[in-house]
């Protein structure tokens, strides 16, 4: 992170969006220190809590900042590994209970504890060595913190702590809005685990979510001096006015949009990000962890300002299901598409912005191919 | 698990498919030089209005006077630039004159420090507000320089400045720039103008006192005599970047208008391009452009402007005996009118050059091959790589399944099995990438020149890498890992390198593809000994160092075809050393990434193939 | 006509909340502006000095500025009622030597393409002044006709010698063509720079970001305190924390900042910079460029967007190199007499041109279609797996494609027919087949029967295959 590459990487649009760029946090903290209303401008779109937290980090820990980011990544990897081990234990138990109903020659499909053990290592390694998460960490984006909270939420869900789960989901939804859909798999999980006390299983996480969210909102209003931060944060996420290129679908679509239809398509796209929650919940009701990962994947593709950090976290959760890899079709093609689009994307962006030789279309096409690969993967 | 039929069919017939794709691709590409497959050039930017106004330049006598006095001045300064004379001339024309100092800390060897100075004058447009500018530049070459003298360019530039300052139609400022030390001066000036740093930061660019807004275009003059035989337009820039085709067309249209004989790559247009001889001539021009673009070295100072989004070309005029037709030589007046027309057209521009092509190949001065036309044959040539990758993937997954069914675990077909080899190969390449500085340090102790030490060090390093496969397979115990998985990695890496490179520097990607696709298809471990040695020999032929040597050999032979073989080889050896040294230094000063790509991307692929070829067979 | 009229009230000049500042950077001053300006004069363009103002020579000048100043002035000594004073100024910098090979003789006819032939009858005075401070002893040039008088004012830096011509008297000879004859040709020499000079430019390349850098140079012997005011459009997103770190705060203090809101208001940035004597200070504002909606671009989108000039306000300690520094007088004569001591100067920097990244304007429909395709690519398979159910089907022996086709047709006509895998442990591979489960079909009961039978088996393998379908 101390190399000259760090500054170059931090500017890359695939990693830093207007929502998670650390430079904007620094700018917000600076404006706050000058006594200028931070949310009246169009530069800072993080939550007031992030303003406080970022301010604290910048003022007191400026020289250790990269260590903090690396530490968060390591913590996230540890949490994901614990999620993987708990989940695999649960899968084994479920299989043990149902093994009598299986066909005898389906034995090669059975899960073994050794295979699942390596799955745990793979999950941790996938998060630590995934180029997307490493780059996100080097670029010092706030996706690192969001991933940490998501991993903690997964861990609390799998280990069965509904109140903590509700609080963590409230925290991450407060920061980046879309992970609010993680409540559904969480509630499903708690209801399945605690089948004799359904009402409590439903109410505990929900109540803790609402209470935490309310508290956070009130604190934010205090810090930001009013409720105008809502327009600058959630209004910004929903209305997507900033058309900076990123790896998502929104920016070019709304650049080339006729004004007349803007609201309609905005509503459509935002609903599209959430429309898969219910059908997938019904379909995957027996496996909430898989549901949660699938929802993470779909929000990473369809959110208004995606970044590679969001892609990294669900990719690193996939090794939990490596016993299903033989059944997956097109792994080769999808894998090649991921690699090819990840290499071509920055090249096309450079050609458009710096050399002036190519067009925005090339970069958008590569982005579309990347999203298609993600969709096929998910 | 039943799979779909297509991969199976592909795997069964992949060898003939790859060969057919490769051969057809090459034939198609070479056929593109024929006029039936390419298009005539045209103007996309209508605002240029080339040649609409009659040229008015008549100060050629003034240019001759300037030339005489400049020659006198340069006699007094044999190795430097007559800064004060030049600055004085610009000032007397009423231009805002500035000088610019820069320093280079040479990164290798004895780390000498070079200083230089550029002189430039800005003609402020009376109607504009200095928001845009056009640059006319000329490199200054002292009499002791090895390159051809450039005094007539500066004389012409001064005469043009005097003529232009009397005109009232300028909407953009004109910057007249005289640079020192060839590309170094131009790069330093551009870096100071935009306040950016490139490469390793060894060029300390100083600061400019006067600026003129955003630069829209630049013309570089390299006129070696006051009576030239033709004008050659050079377009290739740093890292193979090309200017907008409209600028090239503009120069050619204006040369046509003023009856100036104009060439590209010093080859004029064939009078009968539709015939076989015409096609062969155009193929020669095309290959000449490919070879100069592939090296990533700009053919003139103009090449450094492209990175900043500034369209630039170099006009070279020399008195050559290669065109013995009864053409009158081109006078200062005609050259001046061409330049006047170019500047007036550039003055008309409202927007930056963006309409016409940025990626093209030129078989003639009035024909072009755009990216949409040359990419399909390239895709065919490189398609064999992708087909091979798919076929390999299919065969390994079938073999893995079969192995699992038989419950025998002889060979590990896991994807992660090939990982250690790939990682090791990349680590080694990164080491080599950072090595030239160390080599030059070592060379200093051994009293070798930086050139020698870098070349010998690189050669020794690469020679030692030849035994890497034995180390990997014996010591790391990777014998039972599947070589096919490693080949998948190698082939995929080659594919990505080639397709990504084709977007940036097409010629380099083409050469690498043509050389490496057969290698990618052929490489596999063999049991018979002579076959192994044959494959190893072929692999050695496409090693990046050997390819460099071969290209330099071809270049030397084309320039000095009358030398005896041993002298030719010695000259080639010296030129190869120099080429390697320049590519390293260019990477550090200008960020020319050919060396980086060759060492960090191509060499690992080659090492992987080498490892596969020498893989022990069970 | 009195020349020393007082300003009526100063309240508007002392309260900065009444300041309004606007700039149109792209506009060029041209004949369209000159003509209505001339029409404000009492004699229009028919009489007087305004007849000298022909467009052609004016707009080939190196510098051209038109200005209008309006202010309330006292009507009389007691200052009980006010007049509105209108001052119109035209500034011109011409360079005749360029086209004349160094000869620097000039005349009104040459500069304005016509001599003065009349004065305005409504004017109470009509005078022409020539600054001859550098022409003591008439060594450099000689004026013809001879001036009526030479007024000397000030001393030191504010010394001024003005040659005065009364145009009315000069026109007794019908034509007044003022000429200057120089002894020698012009030689461009070193021009001493002014006390404060400013240069502004954009650094960086590419269309992602950059920074606006201002260089303020103080060539005098005393430190200067300078107010720098800049108005920037919203699509340059400034990052001020990079330029106002702690060290820099000592010499550049940001006195006002109004942050921009996208598409609503731009940036207003004001800083006070302390420049020591003989030093150069740099202020640089880092920005990133925004991508606008395609309809927000002007027709020549690749030309770029203009950034208005910044304003530098400074109080110079001496009037060296200042044309006018007395704001109280009305007549030009009073303005040309410099006051010793502090002079207020406002300098405008260069306008800048920044190019923003542009989308492809010819592709709105294509973009919409392609983006919606990706959404549909996700929607389709999800819809498939969430509304369909997987059922096992026994695989048939390898049959010829024709018989396969026939069986397929048969199955389509007979509606879905499922067979159950009867025995376990057969050597046929199990191939899951997707079957439409549609409650509207008649054989729903048949479906339910079969469902019950294979439910236990389906649980395990179906969940496996569901997961496979998820991918």
A200-204 long-range contacts, Cβ below 8 Å, gap at least 24? A201/A162, A204/A162, A204/A163, A204/A166
Average pLDDT, rounded, for chain A = 86
- Asked if the C-beta of A23 comes within 8 angstroms of chain C's C-beta atoms, the answer is yes
From CA C164, how far away is CA A193, in angstroms rounded?
Answer: 103
Contact C62, C72 (CB under 8 A): no
The distance from CA C76 to its chain's CA centroid, rounded to whole angstroms, is 44
The residues in C 332-391 lying below 8 A from A, measured between CB atoms, are: 357-360, 363-364, 367-368, 370-371, 373-375, 377-379, 382-383, 385-387
Cα–Cα distances in angstroms (integers) from residue B535 to residues B279, B471, B491, B511, B608, in the given order: 35, 19, 17, 20, 14
Tell me which DSSP letter residue B228 carries.
B
* Residue B540 sits at the chain A interface (C-beta within 8 Å): no
Give the chain A residue whose CA is nearest to the CA of B404: A108
C187 reaches A (C-beta below 8 A): no
From A329, which residue of chain B is nearest by alpha-carbon distance?
Answer: B3
The per-residue pLDDT for B378 is 95
Q: Does the CB of A249 have a partner CB in chain C at under 8 Å?
A: yes
**SS3 readout for B503-523:** HHCHHHHHHHHHHHHHHHHHC
Distances (CA, A) of B39 to A289, B31, B313, B366, B368: 58, 13, 21, 9, 6
Question: Is C65 touching B (CB cutoff 8 A)?
Answer: no
Mean pLDDT, residues B523-537 taken together: 86
pLDDT at residue C421 tops 60: no
Q: Report the gap between the CA of A68 and the closest CA in chain C (Å).
A: 21
Residue A105 has pLDDT above 60, yes or no: no
Q: A322 or A266, which is more confident?
A: A266
> How many beta carbons lie within 10 A of that of residue B43, not counting itself?
17
The average confidence (pLDDT) of chain C is 79
| B541, pLDDT greater than 50 | yes
Q: How many helices (H) and strands (E) does chain A have?
A: 18, 0
What does the pLDDT read at residue B197? 87
pLDDT at res. C439: 36
Give the chain A residue nearest C425 (alpha carbons).
A105
C429 to chain A, any CB pair closer than 8 A? The answer is no
User: Is B497 a residue whose pLDDT tops 90?
Assistant: yes
Query: Could you tell me the pLDDT band of residue C242, with boundaries at 50, 70 and 90?
Result: confident
- What is each CA distance from B47 to B217, B373, C218, in whole angstroms? 14, 26, 43
Q: State the smallest CA–CA distance between residue B496 and chain A in angstroms.
A: 7
Percent of chain C at pLDDT > 90 equals: 19
The A residues from 26 to 85 touching C (CB cutoff 8 Å) are 26-27, 29-31, 34, 36-37, 40-43
Q: Indicate the pLDDT class of residue A148, thresholds 50, 70 and 90.
A: very high
Query: Mean per-residue pLDDT for A292-310?
Result: 90
Percent over 70 (pLDDT), chain C: 80
The answer to whether residues C150 and C333 touch, using CB atoms and an 8 Å cutoff, is no
Mind listing the domains of chain B with CATH numbers?
Answer: 5-31+373-613 (no CATH), 46-365 (3.40.630.10)
- Tell me the per-residue pLDDT of A53-90, one tens digit each, with 9 for 90 and over: 888 988 888 888 888 998 999 999 999 989 988 888 88
Reply yes or no: is the peptide bond before residue B233 cis, omega within 30 of 0: no
| Cα-based distances in Å from C360 to A85, A359, A361, B244, B306 | 49, 7, 7, 18, 22
Considering only CB atoms, C293 lies closest to which of A41, A255, A287, namely A255
pLDDT at A106 over 60: no
- Residues C193-207 have a mean pLDDT of 91
B297 exposure class (CB count in 10 Å sphere: 0-12, 13-18, 19+): buried
Nearest to A101 among C385, C386, C460 (CB): C460
Helix (H, G, I), strand (E, B) or coil at A189: helix
Q: Cβ distance C171 to C134 under 8 Å?
A: no
- Looking at chain C, which residue has its C-alpha nearest residue A248? C371
**Tens of pLDDT, residues B604-613:** 999 989 888 8
Residue B569, helix vs strand vs coil: helix
pLDDT score at B199: 78
At C138 the pLDDT is 73
- For the cut 80, the answer to whether the pLDDT of residue B478 exceeds it is no
* Tokens (6 digits) for A308: 């590679």
CA distance A217 to A49: 9
Question: Cβ–Cβ of A372/C374 closer than 8 Å?
Answer: yes
d(CA A316, CA A77): 9
| Predicted confidence (pLDDT) at residue B119 exceeds the cutoff of 90 | yes
In angstroms, the CA B321 to CA C139 distance is: 59
Selected residues 253-272 of chain C with any CB under 8 Å from a CB in chain A: 254, 257, 259-263
Across the interface, of C367, C425, C467, the residue whose CB is closest to A253 is C367
SS (H, E, C) chain C: CCCCCCECCCHHHHCHHHCCCCCCCCCCCCHHHHHHHHHCCCCCCCCCHHHHCCHHHHCCCCEEEEEEEEEEEECCCCCCCEEEEEEEEEEEECCCCHHHCCCCCEEHHHHHCCCECCCCCCCCCCEEEEECCCCHHHCCEEEECCCCEEEEECCHHHCEEEEEEEHHHHHHHCCECCEEEECCCCCCCCCCCCCEEEEEEEECCCCCEEEEEEEEEECCCCCEEEEEEEEECCCEEEEHHHCCCHHHHCCEEEEEEECCECCCECEEEEEEEEECCCCEEEEEEEEEECCCCHHHCCCCCCCCEEECCCEEEEEECCCCCCCCCCCCCCCHHHHHCCCCCCEEEEEECCCEEECCCCCCCCCHHHHHHHHHHHHHHHHHHHHHHHHCEEEEECCCCCCCHHHHHHHHHHHHHCCCCCCCCCCCCCCCCCEEEEECCCCCCCCHHHHHHHHHHCHHHHHHHHHHHHHHHHC
Q: Does the beta-carbon distance from B358 to A355 stay under 8 Å?
A: yes
The closest of C207, C202, C237, C236 to C359, measured between CA atoms, is: C207
| Domain map (residue ranges) of chain A | 4-93+112-240
Domain with CATH 2.60.40.1170 in chain C: 196-354
Q: Please name the member of B126, B196, B354 whose beta carbon is closest to the beta carbon of C204.
A: B196
Q: Say what the pLDDT of residue C444 is.
A: 40
Quote the CA–CA distance of C230 and C115 in Å, as a whole number.
42
Residue C400's pLDDT is: 60
At residue C2 the predicted structure's pLDDT band, cuts being 50, 70 and 90, is low
SS3 track for B455-499 = HHHHHHHHHHHCCHHHHHHHHCCCCCECHHHHHHHHHHHHHHHHH
> Do the chains contact at C205 and B165, CB–CB below 8 Å?
no
**pLDDT above 50 (res C457):** no
Distance, in angstroms, between B17 CA and closest chain A CA?
19
Residue-wise pLDDT for B371-429, tens only, equals 999 999 999 999 889 889 888 888 888 888 888 787 777 777 777 777 888 888 899 89
pLDDT confidence tier of residue C445, bands split at 50, 70 and 90: very low
Under 8 Å CB-to-CB from A51, ≥6 apart: which residues?
A25, A28, A29, A32, A38, A44, A223, A224
> Please, which residues bridge with residue C209 across strands?
C288
As a whole number of angstroms, the distance between CA C225 and CA A179 comes to: 52
Return the structure tokens found at B458.
């690189």
Contact B500 A343 (CB under 8 A): yes
Task: Count, in order, helices (H) and strands (E) of chain B.
Answer: 21, 12
Which of the four pLDDT bands, split at 50, 70 and 90, describes residue B160?
A: very high
Q: What's the burial of A360, exposed, middle or buried (CB within 10 Å: 0-12/13-18/19+)?
A: buried
pLDDT at C397 over 70: no
Integer Cα distance of B454 and C280 in angstroms: 43
pLDDT tops 50 at residue C428: no
Query: CA–CA distance from C54 to each of B616, C49, C89 (Å)?
Result: 92, 11, 16
pLDDT tops 80 at residue C175: yes
DSSP 3-state assignment of B145? coil
Residues of A with Cβ-Cβ distance to C370 under 8 angstroms = 364-365, 368
**CA triple A291-A292-A296, angle to 5 deg:** 115
Closest CA to C312 of C283, C279, C276: C283
Q: Would you state the pLDDT for residue C470?
A: 47
Measured CA to CA, the distance from residue B29 to residue B13 in angstroms comes to 24
Residue C458, pLDDT > 60, answer: no
Residue B410 to residue B406: CA distance in whole angstroms: 11
> Which of C340, C356, C219 lies closest to C281 in space, CA to CA?
C219
Q: Which candidate, A31, B581, B310, places its Cα nearest to that of C242?
A: A31
Q: Beta C431-435 vs C305-307: how paired, if at all? A: unpaired
pLDDT, tens digit, for every residue of C97-146? 877 777 888 888 888 888 888 888 888 888 899 988 888 777 888 888 88
pLDDT at B373: 93
Domain C196-354 is of which CATH architecture? Sandwich (2.60)
Q: How far is B206 from chain A (nearest CA, A)?
A: 21
Q: Is the pLDDT of residue B306 over 90?
A: yes
Dist CA C363 CA C369 (whole Å): 10
Q: What is the pLDDT of residues C308-330, one digit of tens each?
A: 999 999 999 888 878 887 777 77
Kindly state whether B393 is in contact with chain A, defined as any CB-CB distance less than 8 angstroms. Answer: yes
pLDDT band at C393 (very low <50, low <70, confident <90, very high): low
């Amino acid at each position: 992170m101390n190399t000259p590459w760090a500054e170059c990487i931090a500017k890359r649009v695939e990693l830093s969006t207007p929502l998670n760029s650390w430079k904007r946090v620094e700018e917000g903290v600076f404006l706050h220190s000058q006594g200028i209303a931070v949310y009246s401008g169009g530069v800072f779109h993080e939550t007031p809590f992030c303003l406080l937290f970022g301010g604290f980090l910048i003022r007191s820990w400026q020289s250790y900042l990269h260590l903090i980011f690396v530490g968060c990544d390591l913590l996230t990897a540890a949490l994901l590994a614990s999620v993987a081990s708990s989940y695999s234990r649960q899968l084994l138990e479920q299989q043990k209970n149902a093994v009598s109903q299986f066909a005898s020659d389906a034995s090669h499909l059975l899960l073994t504890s050794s295979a699942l053990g390596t799955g745990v290592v793979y999950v941790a390694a996938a998060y630590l060595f995934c180029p997307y998460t490493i780059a996100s960490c080097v670029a010092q984006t706030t996706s690192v913190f969001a991933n940490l909270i998501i991993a903690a939420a997964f861990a609390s869900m799998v280990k069965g702590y509904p109140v903590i789960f509700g609080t963590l989901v409230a925290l991450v939804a407060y920061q980046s809005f879309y992970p609010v859909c993680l409540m559904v798999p969480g509630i499903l999980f708690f209801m399945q685990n605690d089948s004799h006390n359904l009402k409590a299983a439903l109410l505990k996480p929900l109540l803790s979510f609402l209470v935490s969210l309310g508290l956070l909102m009130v604190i934010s209003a205090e810090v930001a001096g009013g409720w105008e931060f809502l327009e600058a944060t959630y209004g910004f996420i929903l209305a997507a006015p900033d058309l900076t290129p990123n790896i998502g679908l929104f920016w070019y679509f709304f650049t080339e949009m006729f004004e007349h239809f803007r609201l309609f398509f905005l509503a459509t796209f935002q609903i599209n990000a959430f429309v898969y929650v219910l059908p997938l919940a019904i379909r995957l009701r027996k496996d909430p962890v898989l549901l949660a990962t699938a929802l993470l994947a779909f929000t990473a593709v369809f959110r208004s300002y995606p970044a590679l950090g969001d892609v990294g976290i669900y990719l690193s959760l996939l090794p939990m299901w490596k016993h299903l890899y033989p059944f997956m079709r097109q792994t080769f093609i999808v894998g090649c598409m991921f690699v090819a689009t990840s290499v071509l994307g920055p090249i096309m962006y450079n050609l458009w912005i710096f050399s002036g030789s190519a067009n925005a279309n090339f970069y958008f096409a590569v982005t579309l191919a990347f999203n298609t690969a993600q969709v096929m993967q998910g | 698990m039943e799979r779909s039929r297509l991969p199976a069919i592909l795997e069964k017939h992949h060898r003939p498919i790859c060969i057919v794709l490769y051969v057809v691709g090459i034939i198609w590409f070479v056929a593109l030089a024929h006029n039936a497959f390419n298009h005539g050039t045209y103007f996309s930017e209508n605002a240029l209005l080339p040649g609409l106004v009659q040229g008015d330049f008549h100060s050629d006598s003034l240019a001759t006077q300037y030339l005489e006095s400049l020659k006198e001045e340069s006699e007094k300064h044999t190795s430097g630039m007559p800064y004060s004379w030049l600055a004085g001339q610009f000032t007397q024309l009423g231009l805002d004159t500035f000088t610019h100092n820069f320093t280079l800390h040479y990164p290798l060897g004895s780390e000498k420090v070079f200083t230089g100075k550029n002189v430039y004058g800005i003609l402020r447009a009376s109607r504009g507000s200095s928001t845009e500018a056009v640059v006319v530049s000329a490199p200054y070459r002292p009499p002791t320089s090895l390159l051809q003298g450039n005094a007539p360019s500066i004389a012409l530039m001064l005469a043009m400045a005097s003529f232009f300052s009397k005109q009232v139609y300028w909407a953009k400022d004109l910057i007249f720039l005289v640079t020192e030390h060839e590309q170094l001066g131009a790069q330093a000036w551009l870096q100071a103008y935009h306040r950016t740093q490139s490469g390793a930061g060894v060029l300390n660019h100083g600061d400019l006192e006067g600026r003129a807004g955003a630069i829209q275009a630049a013309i570089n003059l390299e006129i070696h005599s006051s009576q030239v035989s033709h004008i050659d337009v050079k377009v290739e820039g740093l890292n193979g970047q090309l200017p907008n085709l409209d600028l090239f067309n503009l120069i050619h249209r204006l040369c046509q208008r003023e009856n100036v004989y104009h060439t590209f790559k010093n080859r004029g247009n064939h009078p009968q391009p539709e015939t076989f001889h015409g096609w062969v001539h155009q193929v020669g021009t095309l290959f000449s452009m490919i070879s100069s673009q592939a090296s990533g070295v700009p053919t003139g100072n103009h090449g450094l402007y492209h990175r900043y989004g500034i369209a630039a070309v170099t006009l070279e005029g020399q008195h050559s005996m290669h065109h013995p037709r009864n053409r009158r030589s081109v006078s200062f007046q005609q050259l001046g009118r061409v330049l006047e027309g170019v500047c007036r057209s550039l003055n008309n521009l409202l927007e930056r050059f963006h309409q016409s092509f940025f990626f093209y190949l030129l078989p003639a001065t009035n024909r072009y091959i755009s990216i949409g036309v040359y990419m399909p044959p390239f895709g065919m040539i490189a398609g064999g790589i992708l087909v091979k990758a798919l076929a390999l993937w299919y065969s390994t997954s079938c073999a893995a399944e079969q192995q699992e069914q038989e419950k025998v675990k002889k060979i590990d077909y896991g994807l992660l099995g090939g990982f250690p080899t790939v990682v090791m190969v990349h680590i080694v390449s990164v080491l080599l990438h950072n090595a030239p500085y160390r080599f030059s340090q070592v060379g200093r102790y051994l009293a070798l020149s930086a050139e020698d030490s870098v070349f010998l060090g690189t050669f020794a390093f690469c020679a030692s890498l030849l035994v890497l496969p034995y180390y990997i397979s014996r010591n790391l115990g990777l014998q039972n890992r599947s070589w096919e998985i490693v080949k998948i990695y190698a082939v995929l890496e080659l594919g990505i390198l080639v397709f990504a490179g084709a977007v940036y520097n097409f010629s380099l990607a083409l050469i690498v593809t043509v050389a490496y696709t057969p290698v990618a298809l052929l490489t596999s471990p063999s049991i018979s000994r002579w076959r192994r040695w044959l494959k190893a020999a072929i692999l050695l032929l496409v090693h990046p160092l050997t390819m460099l040597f071969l290209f330099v050999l071809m270049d030397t032979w084309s320039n000095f075809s009358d030398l005896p073989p041993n002298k030719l080889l010695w000259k080639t050896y010296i030129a190869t050393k120099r080429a390697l040294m320049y590519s390293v230094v260019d990477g550090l000063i200008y960020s020319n990434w050919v060396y980086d790509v060759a060492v960090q991307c191509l060499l690992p692929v080659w090492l992987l193939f080498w490892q596969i070829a020498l893989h022990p067979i069970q | 006509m009195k020349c020393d009229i007082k300003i009526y009230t100063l309240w508007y000049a002392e309260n900065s909340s009444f300041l309004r500042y606007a700039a149109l950077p792209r506009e060029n001053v041209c004949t369209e502006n000159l003509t209505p300006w001339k029409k404000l004069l009492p004699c229009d363009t028919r009489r007087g000095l305004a007849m000298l103002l022909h467009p052609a020579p004016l707009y080939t000048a190196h510098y051209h500025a038109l200005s209008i100043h309006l202010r309330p002035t006292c009507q009389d000594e007691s200052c009980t009622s006010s007049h509105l004073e209108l001052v119109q100024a035209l500034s011109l910098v011409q360079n005749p030597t360029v086209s004349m090979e160094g000869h620097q003789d000039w005349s009104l006819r040459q500069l304005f393409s016509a001599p003065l032939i009349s004065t305005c009858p409504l004017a109470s005075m009509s005078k022409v002044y020539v600054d001859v401070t550098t022409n003591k002893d008439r060594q450099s040039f000689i004026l013809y006709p001879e001036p009526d008088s030479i007024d000397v004012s000030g001393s030191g830096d504010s010394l001024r010698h003005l040659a005065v011509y009364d145009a009315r008297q000069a026109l007794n000879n019908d034509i007044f063509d003022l000429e200057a004859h120089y002894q020698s040709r012009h030689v461009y020499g070193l021009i001493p720079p002014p006390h404060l000079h400013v240069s502004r430019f954009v650094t960086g390349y590419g269309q992602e970001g950059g920074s606006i850098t201002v260089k303020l140079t103080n060539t005098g012997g005393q430190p200067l305190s300078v107010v720098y005011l800049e108005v920037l459009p919203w699509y340059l997103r400034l990052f001020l924390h990079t330029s106002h770190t702690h060290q820099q705060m000592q010499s550049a203090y940001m006195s006002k900042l109004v942050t921009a809101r996208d598409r609503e208001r731009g940036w207003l940035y004001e800083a006070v910079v302390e420049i020591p004597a003989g030093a150069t200070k740099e202020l640089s504002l880092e920005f990133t460029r925004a991508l606008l909606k395609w309809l927000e671009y002007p027709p020549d989108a690749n030309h770029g967007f203009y950034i208005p000039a910044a304003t530098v306000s400074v109080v110079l300690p001496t009037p060296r190199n200042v044309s006018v520094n007395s704001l109280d007088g009305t007549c030009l004569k009073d303005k040309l007499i410099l006051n010793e001591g502090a002079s207020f100067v406002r300098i405008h920097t260069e306008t800048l041109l920044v190019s923003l990244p542009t989308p492809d304007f010819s592709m709105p429909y294509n973009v919409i279609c392609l983006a919606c395709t990706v959404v549909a690519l996700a929607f389709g398979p999800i819809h498939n797996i969430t509304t369909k159910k997987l059922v096992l089907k026994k695989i048939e022996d390898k049959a010829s494609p024709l018989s396969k086709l026939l069986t397929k047709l048969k199955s389509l006509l007979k509606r879905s027919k499922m067979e159950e895998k009867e025995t376990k442990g057969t050597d046929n591979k199990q191939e899951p087949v997707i079957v439409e489960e549609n409650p509207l079909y008649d054989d729903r009961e048949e479906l339910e029967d079969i469902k019950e039978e294979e439910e236990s088996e389906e649980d395990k393998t179906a969940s496996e295959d569901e997961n496979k379908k998820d991918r």
